[in-house]
Structure 1
Amino acid sequence: MQNYLEFNFQINPLTPWNEILMAELITVGFDSFTETNEGILGYIQKELFQEKDLEQLHIFGMEEVEISYIFSEMPNINWNEEWEKNFSPINVENRVQIRAEFHASENLDYEIIIQPKMSFGTGHHATTYLMIQQMLDMDFRGKKVLDMGCGTGILAIFSKMKGAGDTLAIDIDEWSVENAKENAEGNHTEFRIEQGTAENLGNETFDIILANINRNILMSDISKYVSVLEEGGSLLLSGLCFFDVDDILEVCTAQKLTLKKKYQREEWVSLLLQK
């Protein structure tokens, strides 16, 4: 068991900023959340916490929301029990169910069974939903796919279920790489999984690139994605809030990408672009 810090974040106004804060906290190492009436409780391994990383998050500089926090140490938490209590299955368009082994099957067209190593906030659920929703209408048969920031490997797994060919999944976190390998095996799918970032990408090209990450990483890495995307290929983005869209599209337009489809769920957005 790891020693964790518990952060009590007070947020005013509460919505939609509680979801947005959770999404940003994930990028600096927070891996579990509980929603409260005034904000959220966020948890991070003590050895991973750097206060400068927290203070540099985009949301703390925004005039539209006020956030304050206090924190304390919480040793010897059984986090497997915590995520089991907080993780709920995702149903996408009554066609895809993403669930853990202890959830009942809904017998939909597609079923992805995962063993997450973290507790997802509902914001993460919304972005996962949006990515899967877009992917339902896309043709993956025989396509070469890249899943950037793969996390549990859900998107790479679904790509393979839809007939994708050679597929590469990349994540910066060691736990994500190991978890994606477990989930790939558990769903009887095979694809390459690497630890790293967009810097891992060389001259290998892809027909479809999936990136459910966050605004800052997308803004810095889109040019790299485009450089390895085949002409006519598709770039599917999420991890974006509605107020991020104009900035992202400005970068995409500069890279000669064309917006084909935009979906929004609550405050979250996904964008399907074509080279």
Structure 2
Amino acid sequence: MNYLQYTFPAAPDLQEILVALLGDLPFDTFEEGSENLMAFVPMPADVAALSAEVQAIVEPLGWGFRSGIPYQNWNVIWESNFQPITVGDFCGVRADFHAPMEGVQHEIIINPKMAFGTGHHETTHMVMQLMADLDFREKRVFDFGCGTGILAILAAKLGAVAIDAVDIEPPSFENTLENAKINGVSDAVHALLGDLSVVEGSGYDIILANINRGVILDAFPTLHQKLKQGGILLISGILKTDRDLVLAEALQHGFSPVQTLEKGNWLAVRLH
């Protein structure tokens, strides 16, 4: 698959904000650097139209970008930059070309390709932290916006018996299938391609939603419907500046915040 690369000159503390602003566009992956943010998207049919959408977002804020350039060898980028990470002694995440990890309760192998979710980003890291406090044994789980499948895989390793993992992007769907197989949890992880409408299940014990503010706000009514009475919803992909807005919407749709975590500019919330 051919990809288009956009480069945004921005300091590291601004890159997280930029990722959130671009979250509704069809970018598969963001690569943060010391001076630039790189964004990758499957080659669109209309490059000019996408560039116009990007410009409409960044120009009013005084940000620029370098026009998209064709990029094909994504593997070279992630293999050269991907480093194993740990979430305390709870969980470790590595690629298949790294040595097995020691000193962690659970090890996840992720080959991200063009999908989001390696544990490096603050949002994924915080959801994994919140998951450490939950009992997943014999639970039914829904991973909304699964990316690489990392959260669904962790849920399976924690004892969940059935996990529906959905993503609207074909590379994420394919990557979830691949990573579930690598981690030996294919029987528990059921990957779906599409939006919420393709998910027929309901009565989930736990729902994981690490996406972005806009998608989460729109999905609150459906997520509440799909969550069983007394179930738990973990959300992230939310900037700290959007805390009040998101929590107000959550309350309006029947959720109650129980715990919040902050990391960098990002927020993660446990809701009941």
TM norm structure 1? 0.87
Structure 1 unmatched runs, 5+? none
| Structure-2 separation of matches of 1:122 and 1:56 | 30
Decide whether aligned partners of structure 1 residues 265 and 60 sit closer, same or farther in structure 2, where only a CA change above 3 A counts: farther
* Partner of residue 133, structure 2: 137
Q: Deviations over 1:80-99 (max 9, x none)?
A: 11111122222101321111
| Structure-2 separation of matches of 1:119 and 1:199 | 21
Contact 1:171 1:197 in 2 (8 A): yes
Whether 1:95 and 2:90 are equivalent positions in the alignment is: yes
| Structure-2 separation of matches of 1:220 and 1:265 | 24
Alignment-mate amino acid for residue 142 of structure 1: E
Q: Deviations over 1:93-152 (max 9, x none)?
A: 132111101223322110000111127699962111101000001011111110000111
Whether 1:160 and 2:192 are equivalent positions in the alignment is: no
| Structure-1 separation of matches of 2:52 and 2:264 | 30
Residue aligned with 1:42, SS:
strand
Shift of 1:267: 1.0
Alignment-mate amino acid for residue 229 of structure 1: L
Residue aligned with 1:68, SS:
coil
Alignment-mate amino acid for residue 86 of structure 1: N
Structure 2 unmatched runs, 5+? none
Contact 1:89 1:99 in 2 (8 A): yes
Contact 1:130 1:270 in 2 (8 A): yes
Shift of 1:262: 0.4
Shift of 1:268: 1.1
* Partner of residue 5, structure 2: 6
| Structure-2 separation of matches of 1:90 and 1:103 | 11
* Partner of residue 40, structure 1: 37
Contact 1:90 1:129 in 2 (8 A): no
5 Å-filtered alignment, 1:179-194, equals 179-189=175-185, 190=187, 191-194=189-192
* Partner of residue 25, structure 1: 22
Alignment-mate amino acid for residue 253 of structure 2: Q
* Partner of residue 213, structure 1: 211
Contact 1:5 1:71 in 2 (8 A): no
Alignment-mate amino acid for residue 46 of structure 1: M
Percent identical: 36
* Partner of residue 54, structure 2: 54
Of residues 112-121 and 124-133 in structure 1, the stretch that sits farther from structure 2 once superposed is 112-121
| Structure-1 separation of matches of 2:220 and 2:250 | 7
Contact 1:19 1:121 in 2 (8 A): no
* Partner of residue 269, structure 1: 267
Shift of 1:78: 1.5
| Structure-2 separation of matches of 1:20 and 1:104 | 34
Shift of 1:41: 3.1
| Structure-1 separation of matches of 2:255 and 2:68 | 46
Contact 1:150 1:156 in 2 (8 A): yes
Shift of 1:33: 4.2
| 2:81 counterpart (59, 80, 86) | 86
Residue aligned with 2:65, SS:
strand
* Partner of residue 171, structure 2: 175
| Structure-1 separation of matches of 2:33 and 2:196 | 36
Contact 1:207 1:233 in 2 (8 A): yes
| Structure-2 separation of matches of 1:144 and 1:26 | 28
Of residues 80-89 and 168-177 in structure 1, the stretch that sits farther from structure 2 once superposed is 80-89
Of residues 24-33 and 187-196 in structure 1, the stretch that sits farther from structure 2 once superposed is 24-33
| 1:67 counterpart (48, 57, 63) | 63
CA RMSD, 1 decimal: 2.4
Decide whether aligned partners of structure 1 residues 87 and 180 sit closer, same or farther in structure 2, where only a CA change above 3 A counts: same
Decide whether aligned partners of structure 1 residues 165 and 247 sit closer, same or farther in structure 2, where only a CA change above 3 A counts: same
| Structure-2 separation of matches of 1:36 and 1:177 | 27
| Structure-2 separation of matches of 1:237 and 1:127 | 9
Q: Between Structure 1 and Structure 2, how many residues are aligned? A: 266
| Structure-2 separation of matches of 1:26 and 1:122 | 17
Shift of 1:36: 4.8
